[in-house]
Structure 1
Amino acid sequence: MSLNSRRRGAELEDAILDAAWDTLIEHGYHGFTFEAIAARAGTSRPVLYRRWPQRADLLMAVLHKFWGSQPIEVPDTGDLRADAIGFLRNADKGRTGLMTVISAQLMEYFRETGTNFEELRDRLRRPGPLGFEVIVARAVARGDLPDEPRSRRVVNLPFDLLRNEMLMTMRPVSEQAITEIIDDVWLPLLLR
């Protein structure tokens, strides 16, 4: 590569993060090394170290780009049930394989750092209310639900059940499962 065609700035960072993502997916955290990523990105280890002094720093940058930066659209249909089902559909769309792979590929990271999936999620998620918290707040504002305290666990239960279904089946979640999560579990809890 000539000096004139040398990548810099955002172009170089994107190439590094793309290479790091591919390395993580193919080789897991064990193979997620500065050497492997630099070779795949066509750069040197010092270039990586200048931007991300620790491997965990680079991992967080990669996960922010490929996982945390893709918010799930929260529908606003004016109907609590329709919003909830729509949100689960949006959450499931294209994420089942990603969630399964990431969960498996990061087990060594969790062991090494003494952290867990919940702590990682909290580091990656954007500030503010979660999807179902928004859906419930809108329903309360419309008068569809009484304005009373609700456990955060109950409010966010559908997403937890969806994630469990994804990890257990490693397939997209069926429409039947999504409907059962909302109609048979969540709405009865909210409306009791």
Structure 2
Amino acid sequence: MNDDAPAMRRRRGPELEAAILCAAWEELGAVGYMNLTMEGVADRARTGKQVLYRRWRNRAELVLAAMRFHVVSIADDVPDTGELRGDVLAVLERMAHRYHDVGPDVVHGLMSEARDIAPEHFAIMIGVMETILKRAADRGEIRSGAVGRRITTIPVDLLRHEMLLNSAPVPASTLVEIVDEVFLPLVRARSG
């Protein structure tokens, strides 16, 4: 053994997790979602794939974790424009921007493996929309508790549908239609 060679230090905890998430992000950019494997990420991170499986059940959850590590979550910075319409449009704009930044390959890959993703990952946007509706109720724009879960998630669900069916960026006009022609009329009808 060469005494001048630096000893390989074993990474643990947050340091190891950060290395894995960076490797997953780089591997995703290099090979795309469909060709991404746990083995490829483990090789890039210089660790064993069992280390990955102890933290994430599958590649979909690993990719979601890598995305959250590299991109600020909407849930961590819920828009507050001072009005319900502006808040919902801001959320949809962020989602559409993220779709463009991450790419349709990743979004379509994740959606095709939605059954492999823990339900709490989908609940994040429900929480965002509930926060926005609570703020609107506090401002007196809508009646508190008037909107059920199905209506709460309609804007996000419709945008996900658009993203799933198209690989082109979602036009701003589509976001406005979702809010002005579908969501707000339903909210106002329920709110009286």
Q: How high is the TM-score relative to the length of structure 1?
A: 0.73
Q: Tell whether the 8 Å contact from 1:24 to 1:31 is kept in structure 2 after alignment.
A: yes
| Alignment deviations for residues 68-115 of structure 1 (CA, whole Å, 9 cap, x no partner) | 77311322122111111122112211324636323443578x4xxxx6
Q: Matches of residues 23-172 of structure 1 in structure 2 within 5 Å? A: 23-24=27-28, 26=31, 28=33, 31-34=36-39, 36-41=40-45, 43-45=46-48, 48-50=49-51, 52-53=53-54, 56=57, 60-67=61-68, 70-72=72-74, 73-96=77-100, 98=102, 100-106=104-110, 110=113, 116=115, 120=117, 122-124=119-121, 130-172=127-169
Structure 2 SS opposite 1:18: helix
Percent identical: 31
Counterpart code for 1:167: L
> Are the structure 2 counterparts of residues 123 and 29 from structure 1 closer, same or farther at C-alpha, using a change threshold of 3 Å?
farther
> Are the structure 2 counterparts of residues 133 and 53 from structure 1 closer, same or farther at C-alpha, using a change threshold of 3 Å?
closer
Using the alignment, how far apart are the partners of 1:123 and 1:148 within structure 2? 22
Using the alignment, how far apart are the partners of 2:184 and 2:66 within structure 1? 34
Using the alignment, how far apart are the partners of 1:6 and 1:107 within structure 2? 38
Q: Tell whether the 8 Å contact from 1:20 to 1:32 is kept in structure 2 after alignment.
A: no
> Are the structure 2 counterparts of residues 75 and 124 from structure 1 closer, same or farther at C-alpha, using a change threshold of 3 Å?
same
> Are the structure 2 counterparts of residues 103 and 88 from structure 1 closer, same or farther at C-alpha, using a change threshold of 3 Å?
closer
Pairing 1:16–2:17 present: no
Deviation at 1:174, TM superposition (A): 1.2
Q: Tell whether the 8 Å contact from 1:80 to 1:135 is kept in structure 2 after alignment.
A: yes
| CA RMSD across the alignment | 3.3
Deviation at 1:62, TM superposition (A): 4.2
Pairing 1:187–2:177 present: no
Q: Tell whether the 8 Å contact from 1:24 to 1:105 is kept in structure 2 after alignment.
A: no
Which 10-residue stretch deviates more, 24-33 or 13-22?
Answer: 24-33
Using the alignment, how far apart are the partners of 1:99 and 1:154 within structure 2? 27
> Are the structure 2 counterparts of residues 174 and 126 from structure 1 closer, same or farther at C-alpha, using a change threshold of 3 Å?
same
Q: Tell whether the 8 Å contact from 1:139 to 1:145 is kept in structure 2 after alignment.
A: yes
Which 10-residue stretch deviates more, 157-166 or 25-34?
Answer: 25-34
| Alignment deviations for residues 149-171 of structure 1 (CA, whole Å, 9 cap, x no partner) | 32211011011111111222222
Q: How high is the TM-score relative to the length of structure 2?
A: 0.73
Q: Which runs of 5+ in 1 are unaligned?
A: none
Q: Tell whether the 8 Å contact from 2:32 to 2:105 is kept in structure 1 after alignment.
A: no
